[in-house]
């Protein structure tokens, strides 16, 4: 007979599983039959028939009820004579687990009741440590975007002390204004003078000032578009086709 708790195949004459010692599925009928034997003995004793002590066949591997001393068989959760709950002897830690649905006694490590199949406890999934994941795949949200950085070195005017420390900026879009370039220079807009943009591994400059006072000194040929402002000396010109 197959054990419903661990799946071990047992012989038909066994009451408990040979491997895990859990009661087999037909144990309820055997327990009921033995209980009937005790019931008949109680009736005989009440009518004055001396039947003597229970035989080994009737008694089996039994314990005594802590309340009335009635013999109990393994698997009985309460005494059939006084309905007293069966308890483990003092000082002995019970290794059984009673089913909350049918009160059947199961092994402490059983996950399902061997009598009614009720789930006694859930198996916790084994958590895999992060160190065992390996380094084949990189977690997207842990990746850091490449840092885009540039520097602006201030060129001193005539009779002006040279500024040795360059201005360092980082990011794909940088707003240039008076505070982060030349604090105190009233010719630079305090809000947005210009914007530096990093696209396709190239830097681009775009004017954002109301006075249109952002220019690039050219040393090579550059493309001109209608509306571009050309500064020659201190005179500005607008290009058109």
Question: Residue-wise pLDDT tens for the chain (241 aa)?
Answer: 777 777 778 887 788 888 878 777 544 444 444 444 454 454 445 545 444 444 434 444 557 777 777 777 776 777 777 777 766 544 444 567 888 888 888 888 788 887 788 888 776 766 655 554 455 666 666 666 557 889 998 888 888 887 778 889 999 999 999 999 988 889 999 999 999 999 998 999 999 999 888 988 888 898 888 888 888 887 888 888 8
- The predicted pLDDT at position 29 comes to 42
pLDDT for 129 equals 59
- Match 């009741």 to its residue by tokens: 113
Spatial contact of 26 and 34, defined as CB atoms under 8 Å apart: no
Q: Where in the chain is the domain with CATH 2.60.200?
A: 149-238
Provide the pLDDT for residue 76. 72
Q: Where are the alpha helices (DSSP H) in 63-156?
A: none
How far apart CA 91 and CA 108 sit, in angstroms, is: 18
The DSSP secondary-structure symbol of 216 reads -
What pLDDT does residue 141 have? 65
What backbone torsions phi and psi does residue 89 show, to the nearest 5 degrees? -60, 155
User: Taking the C-alpha atoms of 74, 76, 80 and 84 in order, what is their torsion angle to the nearest 10 degrees?
Assistant: 110
Distance CA 92, CA 70 (A): 20
Question: In this structure, what DSSP letter does residue 192 have?
Answer: -
CATH number, domain 149-238: 2.60.200
Q: What residues contact 39, with CB distance under 8 A and at least 6 apart?
A: 80
Could you tell me which residues come within 8 angstroms of residue 4 by beta carbon, excluding any fewer than 6 positions away?
A: 22, 24, 25, 112, 114, 117
pLDDT value for 94: 55
> Looking at residue 187, what is its pLDDT?
92
> How far is the C-alpha of 145 from the C-alpha of 14, rounded, in Å?
68
User: Could you tell me the sign of the dihedral formed by the alpha carbons of 124, 126, 129, 133, in that order?
Assistant: negative
């Amino acid at each position: 007979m197959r054990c419903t708790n661990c799946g071990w195949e047992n012989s038909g004459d066994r009451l408990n599983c040979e491997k895990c010692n859990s009661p087999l599925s037909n144990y309820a009928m055997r327990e009921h039959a033995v209980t009937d034997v005790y019931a008949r003995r109680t009736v005989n004793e009440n009518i004055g028939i001396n039947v003597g002590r229970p035989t080994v066949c009737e008694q089996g591997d039994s314990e005594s009820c802590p309340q009335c001393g009635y013999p109990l068989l393994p698997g009985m959760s309460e005494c059939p004579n006084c309905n007293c709950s069966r308890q483990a002897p003092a000082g002995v830690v019970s290794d059984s687990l009673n089913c909350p649905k049918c009160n059947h006694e199961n092994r402490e490590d059983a996950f399902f009741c061997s009598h009614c199949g009720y789930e006694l406890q859930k198996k916790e999934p084994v958590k895999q440590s992060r160190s065992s994941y390996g380094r084949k795949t990189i977690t997207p949200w842990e990746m850091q975007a490449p840092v885009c950085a540039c520097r602006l070195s201030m060129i001193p005017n005539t009779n002006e002390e040279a500024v040795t420390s360059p201005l360092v900026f980082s990011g794909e879009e940088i707003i240039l204004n008076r505070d982060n370039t030349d604090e105190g220079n009233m010719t630079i807009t305090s809000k947005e003078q210009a914007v530096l943009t990093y696209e396709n591994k190239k830097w681009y400059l775009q004017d954002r000032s109301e006075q249109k006072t952002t220019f690039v000194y050219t040393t090579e040929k550059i493309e001109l578009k209608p509306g571009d402002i050309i500064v020659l000396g201190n005179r500005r010109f607008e290009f058109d086709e």
